[in-house]
Structure 1
Amino acid sequence: MKLQIQPIGNSYSEQAIDLILNIQQKEFNIPITIKDQPDLLQIESFYTEAGGNFWGAFVDGELVGSIALVKFDERVGAIRKMFVKKEFRGKELNIAQELLEVLISFCRENGIDDLYLGTITVLKAAQRFYERNQFVKIEKGNLPVKFPLMSADDIFYHLNIA
């Protein structure tokens, strides 16, 4: 199995939607639909053109993971759409870690010093993952004013990478 991570655009929308909705709805029973995340239908305008990016992790040509960066202020970004298909999670392939490192490298190259993200209480493994990567839990009230809030999120993290 060979892992390949690359930026993806609108041509991958359908695969990304399939990957993400399956995890959100079927695995974790999160009541979220494509209507709640229209960004997935316009990856390029929402992420890339605004100064962020959207990456896909592929194993043998199959999209098995994703991570996205929304640049919402001059030197500030939000992590979105961090998902890895169940069968591909874990230390062996280390896909989540690889995705995060690609995003952080992009931030360093593009002058983004602060990263924020929101996640959901039931996603315990995600919280442990962010904490292992030095993200610090913060109160919702301490998020930057321009932070693009997702309605389902109830736990928030910050990482300074400067």
Structure 2
Amino acid sequence: MSITVTIEPLNNSYCEQIINLILPIQQIEFNVPVTLADQPDLLDIEANYLQGGGAFLGAKYGDELVGTIALINTGHQACALRKMFVKKEFRGKEHGIAQLLLDNLIQFCSANDITDIYLGTVSMLKAAHRFYEKNGFSKISADALPPYFPRMKADDVFYHFHI
């Protein structure tokens, strides 16, 4: 099935849709012990992502938000990749939504003089690890993270990509 998806910037008017996409994936699908209280950034996208020179992008199928990716600009020509989620029914190579989101994020970085992308994820998300590695991300130890990288409590696997 071929679907048409658009990638567009998201702001605070999308907070509810973002939360309704991300929380069930984290809590129900992957049993990650994280709540909305652990992620207050989702309640104010503009202050936590956009104001600092970052981005929050959404993949939309019609009016439905089916995927997200975000970056926090950490300065030092670097960023932290966050909130990479695709709704289960829209995952996979045949849809290409995760790839489209990542490609758009890398384009944003290139246009904004960001040369290094860091990310943290959890060990149980093996498909995500394969996706990042296929896209040229290198697994690094927590000790190799720069001191300005904002770590999330649940993250235990880390990656780096140099543009």
- Answer whether TM exceeds 0.5 for this pair: yes
Partner of 2:134: 132
Distance 1:113 1:2 in 2: 30
Partner of 1:122: 124
Answer yes or no: is 1:79 the counterpart of 2:65. no
Residues paired across the two proteins, number? 161
Partner of 2:8: 6
Q: Give 1:51 deviation, angstroms.
A: 0.5
Gap regions ≥5 residues in structure 1: none
Partner of 1:145: 147
State how 1:46-85 maps to structure 2 within 5 Å. Answer: 46-85=48-87
Counterpart residue type for residue 154 of structure 2: A
Q: Give 1:74 deviation, angstroms.
A: 3.0
Gap regions ≥5 residues in structure 2: none
Distance 2:51 2:62 in 1: 28
- Normalised by the length of structure 1, the TM-score is 0.98
Runs of 4+ in 1 over 6 A off after TM superposition: none
1:19 is aligned, of 15, 18, 21, to: 21
Answer yes or no: is 1:154 the counterpart of 2:156. yes
- Percent identity reads 58
Helix, strand or coil at the partner of 1:55:
strand
2:94 is aligned, of 76, 86, 92, to: 92
Distance 1:82 1:144 in 2: 21
Distance 1:74 1:159 in 2: 14
Q: Give 1:92 deviation, angstroms.
A: 1.3
Partner of 2:45: 43
Distance 1:19 1:153 in 2: 19
Partner of 1:112: 114
Counterpart residue type for residue 76 of structure 2: E
